[in-house]
Structure 1
Amino acid sequence: MAFGPNPPPIQAHLCVKGGEAAIVFYEKAFGAQCTFKAMAKDSVRVMHANLVMFGSEVMLHDEFPEFGDDVMAPNSRSSASMAISINLPKPADVDAATAKAQAAGADILLQPTDVFWGARYARLGDPFGHVWAFNAPPAQR
């Protein structure tokens, strides 16, 4: 089902170049589960997919340049225009999530570190041009 009974109030909708490969990457890197996938008429590109990850849902589709340049992936432009931030419960979760994503092929943009706003934080780039951030409250002392 493309639209469940309790959709989250805010939902990311990613445009990628290589939708099938992106689904596989997000499954490996983030433990995503694809709950819905519809292919385009060309049977090559993903028209729409829903991925459940980190207790929420992300939508995904391949780029469709024939519909205009607003339906293009970040790596077909020059860069991502935003980052998707994942709030995790513990600082160690940031380190583990970053290592898992790196093992799946993500580029680490900022290694897990304790930052000035009082959190454990890391940033990574996925192979499809999107930027992800992991954030957790600091360890209790």
Structure 2
Amino acid sequence: MATTKPIPQGAHTLTPNLVLRDCAKAIEFYKKALGAQELMRMPSPDGKLIWHAELKIGDSTFYLNDEMPGMSTAAPSPEHPAPTTFWLWTEDADAAYRKATQAGATSRMEPADMFWGDRCAGVADPFGYSWSFATHVKDLSDEEVRRAGAEFARQWEQQHQRT
């Protein structure tokens, strides 16, 4: 007798689920902007909504569905974005940023080297979600990160006292 696995094969312990308005359009955007691969799509019986879809970016899967009043939380929007950012590790943060902005994402942070050793960039998608792209470019000791962080904080404070 076979036993059912409590966590499905290939699933990670934590899997985000994005609630959207126009999930079908979002799926096509994520394919173009983020290189997502569509694994499955389950439309409602009338075909007007997507009850559940699964996309994969790199080695990570995430779920999506259309907003369904009374059954899920409200979808975010560009005017009322989700208070969450998805962090994507990539071979080339600059290229990922360019691809996303060319597909219609709005720049939130142009690619830049960060004090902790990563090159990062950020965008907002047309559906109210934020995405950060990161490429690890430099290995640093804990002490090097601490010193660089302190210098970053000092400069940040100086810049924001003037404004």
Q: How many residues align?
A: 133
Structure label with greater radius of gyration: 2
1:29 aligned onto 2:28: no
Following superposition, the deviation at residue 117 of structure 1 comes to 2.1
Following superposition, the deviation at residue 74 of structure 1 comes to 1.2
1:65 aligned onto 2:64: no
Counterparts in 2 of 1:83-102, with a 5 A limit?
83-89=85-91, 93-102=92-101
Distance 2:90 2:24 in 1: 27
Following superposition, the deviation at residue 139 of structure 1 comes to 5.1
Distance 1:76 1:66 in 2: 22
Runs of 4+ residues over 2 Å off in structure 1? none
Following superposition, the deviation at residue 11 of structure 1 comes to 1.3
SS in 1 for 2:112: strand
Mean CA deviation greater in 131-140 or 70-79: 70-79
Bigger relative CO (Cα 8 Å, ≥ 6 apart): 1
Q: Deviations over 1:86-122 (max 9, x none)?
A: 1124xxx100001011111111100010112221001
1:127 aligned onto 2:131: no
Match of 1:12 in 2: 16
Match of 1:56 among 56, 60, 68: 60
Structure 2 length-normalised TM = 0.75
Q: 1:76 to 1:138 in 2, by over 3 A?
A: closer
Q: Identity across aligned pairs (percent)?
A: 33
SS in 2 for 1:95: helix
Structure 1 length-normalised TM = 0.86
Q: Which amino acid aligns with 1:85?
A: W
| Runs of 5+ unmatched residues, structure 2 | 1-6, 140-163
The structure where strand makes up a greater share of residues is 1
User: Aligned-residue CA RMSD in angstroms?
Assistant: 1.9
Q: Deviations over 1:64-98 (max 9, x none)?
A: 1233xx52111188221110101124xxx100001
Q: Which amino acid aligns with 2:81?
A: S
